[in-house]
Amino acid sequence: MTDADFEYLRALLKSRSGLSLAPEKRYLVESRLGPVCRKHQIPGLPQLVQVLRGGRNSSVETEVVEAMTTNETFFFRDKTPFDIFRDQLLPKLAAARATQKRLRIWCAAASTGQEPYSLAMIVDEMKPRLGGVQVDILATDLADEVLAKAKAGVYSQFEVQRGLPIQMLLKHFKQDGEQWRISPAIKNMVQFRPLNLIRDFSSLGQFDIVFCRNVLIYFDQPTKADVLRRLSNALAADGALFLGAAETVIGLTGAFQPHPEHRGLYVPTRAQPAPAPRLAASA
Ligand SMILES: C[S@@+](CC[C@H](N)C(=O)[O-])C[C@H]1O[C@@H](n2cnc3c(N)ncnc32)[C@H](O)[C@@H]1O
């Protein structure tokens, strides 16, 4: 692959998914796009770039973009955000929405579904304490392939062994040969949709809690800042945003401030006379 081919791919990925690919990540292009070449019987990366430049095969282009995404995820990843969600945010916001009787949660880079299903299992457990407030969970991702797996709700033994407590496995999954199938009750609590975060998402309306974890890390600074600004518009004034452990709003936007006690949790600045208020004590 020539430097010009690599630059072409970098520009394509940046414009299609926001992925900011450093020059030293050239090896990643080679390892991830090899299978796309083989699938389409394209001899190598220079020829693949030729096909892309020709612009006549949009499905190959989509596959290239999806192949370059990192889809790593697991149930209850990092644990603490889910504890805060269950013990503090959910009861607090359900009480605040006692009149509207509705709470909206958005899982904005849901990958293969473990994150939104973790939230759904918590909501199911908390239902008796939510005062009849209906909780809607929207899960979106750029990549169709991971969304299809998320919608199917079928996981391998390895996947259910990562982060999922055994009681939850036994309660909410059914074994099906080598696989584990999530119950229809939990599956139906989550609505899955394709969505590209670098495009306008204002039509989704307003959410109370947004999980947008481990995706901003792949974007450059202006793209991160732009997504965060638009996320702040999509969040209720008393809502909350969770980012991944390696992500932050600091130096990117004044629209959010870090919660003083909980790493990874951010609150909209417009609602908060500084410093941000303490959340209610754990239930
Ligand atoms: C590393 S996974 C994170 C999954 C989950 N949030 C977690 O933390 O476990 C990143 C996900 O972001 C998705 N993604 C990448 N670029 C995106 C974009 N521009 N819009 C929406 N999703 C994107 C990828 O397809 C991938 O599934």
Provide the residue ranges of all domains of the chain, joining segments of one domain with +. 3-68, 80-268
Q: 15, 62, 111, 231: which to mutate for ligand 1, most atoms within 8 A of CB?
A: 111
* This prediction's pTM: 0.94
Ligand 1 pocket check for 68: Cβ under 6 Å: no
CATH code, 3-68:
1.10.155.10
Ligand 1 pocket check for 143: Cβ under 6 Å: yes
Position 272 scores a pLDDT of: 54
Half-sphere exposure of 185 (CA within 13 A, CB side): 10
Q: Look at residue 144 and give its three-state secondary structure.
A: helix
Q: What angle do CA 13, 15, 19 make, to 5 degrees?
A: 45
Ligand 1 pocket check for 118: Cβ under 6 Å: no
Do the domains at 3-68 and 80-268 have one common CATH topology?
no
Position 280 scores a pLDDT of: 58
Q: What angle do CA 22, 25, 31 make, to 5 degrees?
A: 150
CATH code, 80-268:
3.40.50.150
Picking from 246, 202, 199, the residue whose alpha carbon sits closest to that of residue 223 is 199
Position 62 scores a pLDDT of: 96
Q: How far apart are CA 254 and CA 269, in angstroms?
A: 7
Picking from 76, 111, 105, the residue whose alpha carbon sits closest to that of residue 195 is 111
Ligand 1 pocket check for 214: Cβ under 6 Å: yes
CB atoms < 10 A from the CB of 68, how many?
22
Asked if residue 124 lies in contact with residue 85, where contact means CB atoms within 8 angstroms, the answer is no
Question: Tens-of-pLDDT digits for all 283 residues of the chain?
Answer: 899 999 999 999 999 999 999 999 899 999 999 999 999 999 999 999 999 999 887 899 999 999 999 999 999 999 999 999 999 999 999 999 999 999 999 999 999 999 999 999 999 999 999 999 999 999 999 999 999 999 999 999 999 999 999 999 999 999 999 999 999 999 999 999 999 999 999 999 999 999 999 999 999 999 999 999 999 999 999 999 999 999 999 999 999 999 999 989 999 997 655 555 566 554 3
Q: What is the atom index within ligand 1 of the atom nearest the CA of 195?
A: 21
Q: What is the atom index within ligand 1 of the atom nearest the CA of 198?
A: 19
CA of 195 to the centre of ligand 1 (A): 10
